């Protein structure tokens, strides 16, 4: 076995009211990809911040390449050979690639020389990038390349990556993995944080699992199933969402030949989408992102209006109604983008609960707001969905992504919808919270609600939906019962080959 | 009406003089805003600089010491703003407006007893050879030191922002303070330094009015130049050369309209008096139609814990 690059002994960090890390010890060896796993709030971010010098540990010590290591600031960490790719990219939109790279270096060469080195490194590792493009114009994958190249130019011995694949397309993930394997072959150690267990099983050599700030296990991901990993993170046997056999009721939501122009220049207009969802049914809609998912959610929530007859609730035309009128009759939606669409980032959870719940929960009387009741509603959501926050007075922005997701889904579920439409309900949420959200959706369906789940997670759709359809370039495939589908057929549906498969069957 | 009484050479020469206070204040504010801080207290810092410079120049008899005192006065006042917004995390707009009101009051307090006094005159630069050139010598090379200092500061700011690492870091802090912090840059320290620089520049701009342009002390004598400087930075799209252009345009129209008034042109005085403001803003609005935009973190409160 190779020597450890980084050894951590008994690291402890407490914040007022919460112990983020308690006595954590592990080694990261040369040339390995070491996964750091844990639920939202398990202390992964605090731990890597200590390694990168952004946070000082209360107790414990670190050894880096055999010498004691206690970085006072990121500069010291970089000088020692530790580099980090952040979860939320730490890039400057108005500056160009070379300037962004220069800002992350201790002693950058002149801009022209730097541009040459960026080209060189980007070619070596298969990450094409033009040093003089403005970062604000780049795609998510390209922006991540900027971060990675910034790290690579400093010849790091340890590269920390915080959820690097959450914003990437599958093709971009593949390119990233090739780059990482090339790096480990050169002896660089990688500390890799992710929620995607299958990804970790494919990429990582070792995994350290944190739970509530403590290390609970170290294992070899390839020899462990994703389920075992998830159970170690949660500490209990993972609850698989169960659906109770139920009789379906009448058609609750019906779309007939729904066509809506996308409001965004880069969006995808809906073209003749027809579907019907019955009471107590879960309809799953898959498809690669950007094929009309956002537009479909908008057309259902009332943000995009259509001809009245295109959308019907219990037979009543609602296509021309706005979001509030649709809420009144029980058509509720939870959009994908948590910060800014589903929730107002700088408003408290109570205020956010008021924003969509005022009508159905009776939080307003003749135009006056009942804050006591709204607070009670927010507290009920927090309690039932295990949202981890000090209280409903905290700003939505202060919650971690997974916790906020639980809140915005819970907020709609608790309003007893007749029809609930959710887009990416478990995006960026850890395994146990995802299971809880899925269970809540199934429970809702068992109570007679019609549920439409739009998601890119096929496993999720297979697990909870009764019937499945795929969006492709704004068109909907034929909808088929999930039980008679296999992955290959789903792939064909997502690719837009709707009619061919009918011919095969 | 007698337009022949207007001497074009003198007109161009006095344009540079008229523009200098605005130029100094605006280029200081440009650096502050590039660091992501919106300091609306420019007017207050200018008037404080005006009286500090005036008082010290009168008491010591040395106008250069007066300019230094003006820079120090403006910087000390801006330090108050820095403490409020960077340490106590107060709202920048409210603090800036408060700073202007405070500066106006403080300056009248200090200024009691200085009304009606003439300050020592400022030495005019005489460059052998250059100053004696016909036409150009009078327009470009026989001004006081401060006119050239203003131009040097603009050039230095442009060079620093564009070509140096310090400038890159300053822009980065103004663009995305969270990312700059994550990379280990001291956001608060950099911003406080920028605010102090802006205060010193505004103070010198104020002293230029009280020591050279007018030269005497009257309450509220900056007469809104600080607000014009703020607008100039925005309409100049945060670019130093455009600030220079805008300031000279403003100075030029001011001088022309004064000359026209003196020559008795048949346009109401009110229209002439408003023309510098209108023309400067109009030209800069047209120029700022390109895509360049404000520093992304401008006016946002930064707290390191998040």
> What is the arithmetic mean of pLDDT over B207-222?
91
Residue B188 CB partners (closer than 8 Å, separation 6+): B86, B87, B302, B304
Q: How many CA atoms lie within 13 A of B126 on its CB side?
A: 4
Q: What is the pLDDT of residue A504?
A: 39
Q: What is the pLDDT confidence band of residue A374, given thresholds at 50, 70 and 90?
A: very high
pLDDT tens per residue, range B145-196: 899 999 999 999 999 999 899 999 999 999 999 889 888 889 999 999 999 9
What are the Cα distances from residue B21, in Å, to A407, B51, B55, B225?
55, 14, 18, 8
pLDDT tens digits, B57-83: 999 999 999 999 999 999 999 999 999
pLDDT band at A502 (very low <50, low <70, confident <90, very high): very low
Alpha-carbon distance of B179 to A99, in angstroms, equals: 14
Identify the burial level of A475 via C-beta atoms within 10 angstroms of its C-beta, where 0-12 means exposed, 13-18 middle and 19 or more buried.
middle
In chain A, the percentage of residues whose pLDDT exceeds 70 is: 94
- What pLDDT digit, counting tens, does each position of A168-218 carry? 666 777 888 888 898 899 889 999 988 778 788 888 999 999 888 888 888
Whether residue A17 is predicted with pLDDT greater than 80 in this model: the reply is: no
> Which of A266-270, B94-98, B281-285: highest mean pLDDT?
B94-98
The pLDDT, as a whole number, for residue A500 is: 41
Nearest alpha-carbon partner for A155 in A201, A121, A110, A198: A121
When scoring A92, A106, A113, A160 by the number of chain B Cβ atoms within 10 A, the one with the most, hence best to mutate, is A92
Residue B223 clears pLDDT 90, i.e. is over it: no
Chain A contact present for B178, CB below 8 A: yes
Planar angle of CA A259, A260, A261, nearest 5 degrees: 130
pLDDT one-digit tens code per residue, A385-438? 888 888 899 888 888 777 888 999 999 999 999 999 999 888 777 777 888 889
Closest by CA to A30, choosing from A51, A1, A2, is A2
Q: What is the mean pLDDT of chain B?
A: 89
User: How many Cβ atoms from other residues are within 10 Å of residue B173's Cβ?
Assistant: 29
- The larger pLDDT score, comparing residue A258 to residue A163, is at A258
- Cα–Cα distance between B14 and B234 in angstroms, integer? 25
pLDDT value at residue A381: 94
In this structure, the strands spanning A206-211 and A33-37 are parallel
Helix (H, G, I), strand (E, B) or coil at A354: helix
Percentage of chain A lying above the pLDDT 90 cut: 27
- Mean per-residue pLDDT for A100-114? 84
Residue A40: is its pLDDT beyond 90? Answer: no
With contact defined as beta carbons under 8 Å apart, do A398 and A348 qualify? no
Q: Do B183 and A90 touch (CB under 8 A)?
A: yes
Cβ proximity of B174 and B31 under 8 Å:
no
Q: Per-residue confidence at B306, pLDDT binned at 50, 70, 90?
A: very low
Element (H, E) at A124: helix A111-124
> Which chain B residue lies closest to A109 (C-alpha atoms)?
B165
Residues of chain A contacting residue B165, judged by C-beta atoms under 8 Å apart:
102, 108
pLDDT tens per residue across span B98-108: 999 999 999 99
Is the model's pLDDT at B1 over the cut of 70?
no
What's the complex ipTM?
0.78
Q: Which of B165, B183, B293 is the closest to A104 by Cβ?
A: B183
Q: Please give the pLDDT value at position B57.
A: 94
Cα-based distances in Å from B205 to B18, B26, B80, B233: 11, 9, 19, 15
Q: What is the mean pLDDT of residues B203-219?
A: 92
Lowest mean pLDDT segment, chosen from A62-76, A401-415, A437-451, B289-303? B289-303
The answer to whether residue A29 scores a pLDDT higher than 70 is yes
8 A C-beta contact, residue A276 and residue A315 = no
The residue with tokens 């207290």 is: B41
Angle between the B187-208 and B225-235 helix axes, to the nearest 10 degrees?
A: 130
| CATH entry 3.50.50.60 includes domain A4-234 | no
User: Domain residue spans in chain B?
Assistant: 3-114+142-287
The candidate with the shortest Cα–Cα distance to A141, out of A124, A165, A119, is: A165
B46 Cα to chain A: minimum distance (Å): 31
CATH 3.40.50.300 domain locations along chain A: 4-234, 251-504
Of 1.10.3470, 3.40.50, 3.30.1600, 1.10.10, the CATH number of B3-114+142-287 is 1.10.3470
More confident residue, A429 or A27: A27
- Residue at token pair 């019955």: A278
Provide the chain A residues 361-400 that lie in CB contact (below 8 A) with chain B.
398
pLDDT at A351: 93
Between A54, A89, A92, which is nearest B175 by CB? A92
Handedness of CA A34, A37, A40, A41 (dihedral sign): negative
CB-CB contact of A124 with A179 (8 Å) = no
Across the interface, which of A74, A99, A108 has its CB nearest the CB of B184? A74
To the nearest whole angstrom, how far is the Cα of A49 from the nearest Cα of chain B? 10
Gap between the Cα atoms of A406 and B12, Å rounded:
68
What is the count of residue pairs from A and B with beta carbons less than 8 Å apart?
48
**Per-residue pLDDT at A499 exceeds 70:** no
pLDDT level of residue B262 (50, 70, 90 thresholds): confident
pLDDT of B12: 84
Architecture of domain A251-504: 3-Layer(aba) Sandwich (3.40)
Note if the pTM is more than 0.90: no
Structure tokens at B240: 């130093």
β partners of residue A9: A61
């Amino acid at each position: 076995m190779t020597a450890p690059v980084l050894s951590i002994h008994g690291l402890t960090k407490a914040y007022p009211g919460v112990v983020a890390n308690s006595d954590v010890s592990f080694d990261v060896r040369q040339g390995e990809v070491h996964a750091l796993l844990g639920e939202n709030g398990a202390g992964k971010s605090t731990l890597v911040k200590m390694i990168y010098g952004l946070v000082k540990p209360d107790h414990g010590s670190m050894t880096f390449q055999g010498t004691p290591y206690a970085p006072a600031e990121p500069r010291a960490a970089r000088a020692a050979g530790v580099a980090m790719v952040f979860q939320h990219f730490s890039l400057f939109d108005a500056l160009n690639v070379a300037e962004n790279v220069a800002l992350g270096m201790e002693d950058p060469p002149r801009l022209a020389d730097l541009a040459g080195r960026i080209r060189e490194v980007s070619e070596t590792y298969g990450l094409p990038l033009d040093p003089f493009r403005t970062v604000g114009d780049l795609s998510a994958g390209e922006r991540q390349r900027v971060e990675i190249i910034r790290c690579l130019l400093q010849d790091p011995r340890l590269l920390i990556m915080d959820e690097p694949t959450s914003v990437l397309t599958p093709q971009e993930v593949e390119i990233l993995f090739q780059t990482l394997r090339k790096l480990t072959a050169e002896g660089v150690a990688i500390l890799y944080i992710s929620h995607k267990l299958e990804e970790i099983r494919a990429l990582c050599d070792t995994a350290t699992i944190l739970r509530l700030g403590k290390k609970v296990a170290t294992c070899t991901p390839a020899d462990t199933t994703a389920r075992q990993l998830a159970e170690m993170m949660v500490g209990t046997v993972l609850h698989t969402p169960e659906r109770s056999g139920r009789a379906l009721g009448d058609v609750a939501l019906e779309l007939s030949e729904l066509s809506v122009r996308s409001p965004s220049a880069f969006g995808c207009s809906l073209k003749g989408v027809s579907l019907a969802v019955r009471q107590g049914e879960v309809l799953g809609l898959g498809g690669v992102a950007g094929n009309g998912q956002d537009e479909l959610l908008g057309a259902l929530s009332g943000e995009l209006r259509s001809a009245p007859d295109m959308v019907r609730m219990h037979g009543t035309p609602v296509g021309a109604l706005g979001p509030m009128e649709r809420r009144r009759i029980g058509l509720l939606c939870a959009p994908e983008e948590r910060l800014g669409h589903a929730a107002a980032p700088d408003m408290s959870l109570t205020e956010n609960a008021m924003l969509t719940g005022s009508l159905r929960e009776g939080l307003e009387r003749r135009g006056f707001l009942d804050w006591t009741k709204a607070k009670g509603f927010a507290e009920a959501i927090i309690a039932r969905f295990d949202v981890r926050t000090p209280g409903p007075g905290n700003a939505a922005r202060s919650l971690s992504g997974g916790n906020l997701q639980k809140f915005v889904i819970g907020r709609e579920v608790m309003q007893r919808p007749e029809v609930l439409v959710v887009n990416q309900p478990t995006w960026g949420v850890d395994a146990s919270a995802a299971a809880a959200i899925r269970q809540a959706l199934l429970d809702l369906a068992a109570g007679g609600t019609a549920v439409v789940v739009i998601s890119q997670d096929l496993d999720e759709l297979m697990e909870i939906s009764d019937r499945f359809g795929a969006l492709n370039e704004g068109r909907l495939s034929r909808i088929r019962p999930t039980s008679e589908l296999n992955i290959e057929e789903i792939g064909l549906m997502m690719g837009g080959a709707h009619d061919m498969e009918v011919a095969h069957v | 009406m007698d337009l022949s009484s207007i001497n074009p050479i003198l007109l161009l020469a006095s344009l540079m003089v008229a523009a200098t206070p605005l130029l100094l204040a605006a280029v200081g504010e440009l650096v502050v805003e590039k660091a992501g801080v919106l300091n609306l207290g420019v007017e207050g810092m200018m008037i404080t600089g005006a009286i500090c410079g005036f008082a010290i120049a009168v008491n010591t008899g040395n106008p250069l010491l007066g300019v230094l005192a003006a820079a120090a006065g403006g910087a000390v006042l801006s330090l108050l703003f820095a403490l409020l917004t960077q340490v106590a995390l107060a709202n920048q707009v409210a603090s800036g407006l408060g700073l202007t009101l405070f500066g106006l009051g403080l300056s009248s307090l200090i200024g009691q007893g200085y009304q009606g006094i003439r300050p020592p005159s400022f030495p005019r630069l005489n460059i052998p050879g250059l100053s004696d050139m016909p036409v150009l010598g009078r327009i470009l090379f026989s001004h006081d030191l401060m006119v050239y200092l203003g131009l040097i500061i603009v050039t230095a700011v442009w060079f620093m922002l564009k070509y140096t690492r310090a400038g890159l870091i300053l822009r980065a802090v103004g663009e995305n303070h969270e990312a700059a912090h994550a990379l280990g840059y001291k956001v608060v320290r950099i911003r406080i330094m920028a605010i102090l620089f802006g205060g010193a520049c505004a103070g010198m701009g104020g002293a230029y009015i009280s020591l050279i342009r007018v030269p005497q002390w009257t309450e509220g004598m900056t007469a809104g130049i600080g607000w014009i400087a703020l607008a100039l930075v925005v309409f100049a799209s945060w670019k130093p050369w455009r600030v220079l252009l805008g300031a000279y345009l403003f100075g030029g129209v001011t001088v022309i309209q004064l000359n026209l008034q003196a020559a008795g042109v048949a346009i109401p005085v009110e229209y002439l008096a408003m023309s510098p403001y209108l023309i400067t803003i109009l030209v800069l609005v047209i120029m700022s139609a390109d895509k360049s935009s404000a520093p992304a973190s401008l006016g946002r409160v930064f707290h390191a814990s998040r």
